[in-house]
Structure 1
């Protein structure tokens, strides 16, 4: 909802919506302030405004992996295997931000170590692959 208040010789408009940063602007005329406020509210309703980036600071990698597991993987044919892999990844403590070196070998299923263990070098020769 937009709030318009008179401040000195200008009209200050503030539009606040949950999930979006507060937007403020000042106008000399009340009709311009109302028009801008209406435009910003329409953009917020249409999800055309930039989301609040501060919310992203509270989301961890574990939150994203859990959401992916519950919403996307649950509808896949390979959901059983992917769920096991993602749960193993989650047991490796991805909730700590900025930590490099999670136990990747524990995430890779048995029998797939050779597939993921060594980096592939493309030599351009089909027999080498």
Structure 2
């Protein structure tokens, strides 16, 4: 039943129903508030009865269905699973899928921004958007995507942290590094490969001075190897027996040990590709062939840390 209350000079109608977000609306006259409340309740009941639409499942049901049928087939399954598990803790997941409004998602966005960065929130919103797209295109639910009506958090500036020579020497001179870990770091510095790509290398992927990666972030590619990279790979037991999460933990522990701040493992890729520009004097298309980028603007914006003095030395 609707609740009617006096609010300043207006009458406010409030509709509270189980598994449905509260609805509020204000009117100048009491009779208008009563009429709106009655009509709204009838429409909701008709919708639930399938008179307007067929019955919609809860968002909780959809989350689990998406996780088990769609997400499980993706490379990003583990990350999406983490996002969905956190979404399952939200109070509004029991609403039916058609009742997840832009307002609900906007409130979730604002609350999340208190604890994590805008980039992290955007990744979570991407998962929600993918779920609604799947609901409409593949599962036949005529729902609107609430993400299309809200403002996304501003994405942070791309990382441009590059390790200097002293930091690299400090890391590689650490006698406590196990052979596998050291070899992985060296390959990252020599090739600019991503963490997941390095960990997927197998012996059969090597072909002379070339490394053929069948599965990368976007598509498979062929990477030319330096003499040092080739030597390290030939001495390594492939594939490396470590997962990317354990590797990430070991890297963070190493950074704390040597008091190197603001560096993640992916910054080895930044460092390697920047060195290809500065030390190897490779062109943008040549570096793109090695890095696997399809858009030169992304490569230049994200990975080059060129300084005016470096360019002055080069052209001088």
| TM class, shorter-length | 0.3 to 0.5
> Which one has the bigger helix percentage?
2
TM-score by length of 1: 0.42
> Which one has the bigger strand percentage?
1
Structure with larger RCO (C-alpha < 8 A, sep 6+): 1
* Bigger Rg, which one: 2
TM-score by length of 2: 0.19
